[in-house]
A and B are shown apart, each in its own frame.
Chain A
């Protein structure tokens, strides 16, 4: 059975990240524990890009150091406000269940395809029709980009970025990735995927912006 705990939240001291994490691991890690997930949840502060990092680790001696290093990378290279750090312990290799098979080019291609599907799917939505009234309609889709990384410290590290502007997502990912490689936390990027399909999107807010109508899909 998986066990979890929030080991750090915004407001706690930055110096406590490693201590809290190591305390939890030394107390709760059992012989049957095969892997632990350290989950960082945060937000990039200038563009509001959602930034989460999941590190799956099987060597309990490396959890504290890795958590601290990832935290500071998120704060500085990711320019993020970190909301919380949660640790979950598994009795199997949980990370092996998920695959990240795409290249960045394939992800971009899928996004372009999604744009066409979205335009067809939502143009007749009653909420959109009511506001559009002959204006140009722009659909703004929340993009969840997941990026899998190979690491000597972890079975894998997955970074998730959430925003509507793919260029901004790529810029932030590049910056963060360079930092993680420089620090030796990550060897290379192994794959990507989109976290949400068009089926999971629905019309959120509809804004009139000059001569355009902006439809936020969330």
Chain B
């Protein structure tokens, strides 16, 4: 299989032509960055080496080098971030966005098979917005190289036929991968943002995913508009609010809506917080949403806010 000598094949694939190492280092590698005690070298043929105190500690096919850090791509949407301060695993923006979407509208569950002997695992999203189906499938493809099953159900309404979509992956490996990071569950609304695995890009992507499911943009009389995020899980929402603060936003305090007053009610409290007007343009530019209706409303807010700003500057 392949062409060329055995040593050359090793060199190309694994950089393991040990007997030629000294020569190879001089010809094929050059240093592209030093981050504290770590050095990153790039091969002319592609690929990167991570060295610590002169010893190779990792070989990676892809890397993104930034001013203060280098990001190596690992598997399943995980990255390795090396900076002067630390070495840590982080979520890629794709994985972060998928986790945000799962935390709001998704479900990770274990169910018993029909005969009661075996268990099945399901990672799913139920939605009436087809655009979210597309995003879910795309993100799953990128991260796990799997294509979710898509189910479409039609319903008759007074406005004609309407659909809801159900997209699911049946995989124990994926379910545990998400559970291990506390992304969703075990309670139906329980979630925790994977804060320590999120860099700023990851935080923005996670918030976009969550907002696409459980966010809203509401226009009120007098030209005011609210950008609000909801959840039944106060703890998760509080952690999510911290992500906004980390990114320099100024989210409002968490408000509790004590829900219904119907006798025998079972609605329980719901929690929310708003993004203040001063942060709206930043929210639109840096976070946004995948839902078409959200996008339309955010564009409208942007136009109104820019007009307000222009008038203020003129007058």
Contacts and interface: CB of A to CB of B under 8 A. Distances in A.
Interface of A: 2, 4, 6, 9-15, 37, 39, 41, 43, 45-48, 50, 52, 54, 72-73, 75-77, 81, 83-84, 86, 88, 94, 97-98, 142, 144, 146, 158, 160, 162, 164-165, 167-168, 178-179, 182-183, 195-196, 204-205, 207, 209-210, 216, 218
B211 to A, nearest CB: 12
Contacts of B149: none
Contacts of B126: 10-11, 13-14
Interface stretch (B56-64, B85-93, B216-224): B216-224
Q: Please list the 9 inter-chain residue pairs (A to B) with the smallest Cβ-Cβ separation, ordered nearest first.
A: A11-B107, A195-B261, A41-B267, A86-B266, A9-B188, A52-B260, A182-B158, A47-B218, A39-B266
Interface of B: 105-107, 109, 124, 126, 128, 153, 155, 157-159, 162, 164, 166, 188-189, 214, 216-218, 220-221, 224, 226, 228, 230, 232, 252-253, 255-268, 270, 272, 274, 276-277, 293, 297
Main secondary structure of the interface of B (DSSP, over half): mixed
Contacts of A98: 263
A40 B87 CA distance: 48
28 contacts: A9-B188, A10-B105, A10-B188, A10-B189, A14-B164, A14-B166, A37-B264, A39-B266, A46-B217, A48-B228, A50-B259, A50-B267, A50-B270, A54-B265, A72-B155, A83-B189, A84-B188, A88-B266, A142-B257, A165-B218, A167-B221, A182-B158, A195-B260, A195-B261, A195-B262, A196-B261, A207-B274, A218-B256
B230 A209 contact: no
Contacts of A43: 230, 270
Contacts of B226: 48
A207 B276 contact: yes
| Residue of B253, B260, B270, B272 ringed by the most chain A CB atoms within 10 A | B260
B189 A218 contact: no
| Residue of B220, B264, B277, B293 ringed by the most chain A CB atoms within 10 A | B264
B153 to A, nearest CB: 7
A101 B243 CA distance: 47
A94 B263 contact: yes
A48 B218 contact: yes
A6 B262 CA distance: 17
A11 B157 contact: no
Contact of B166 (A6, A13, A158, A205): A13
Given A14-B166, A76-B162, A83-B189, A158 B255 contact: no
Contacts of A10: 105, 107, 126, 188-189
Contacts of B162: 76
Given A14-B126, A84-B266, A77 B259 contact: no
Nearest to B124: A11
Contacts of B270: 43, 50, 83
Contacts of A47: 216, 218
Contacts of B155: 72, 76
Contacts of A182: 158
A41 B259 contact: yes
B185 to A, nearest CB: 9
A48 B124 CA distance: 24
A168 B221 CA distance: 10
Given A9-B188, A76-B157, A52 B262 contact: yes
B264 A88 contact: yes
A83 B214 CA distance: 12
A11 B106 contact: yes
A216 B276 CA distance: 14
Contacts of A142: 257
A216 B157 contact: no
Contact of B255 (A77, A167, A179, A216): A216
A210 to B, nearest CB: 8
Contacts of A160: 260-262, 265
Nearest to B107: A11
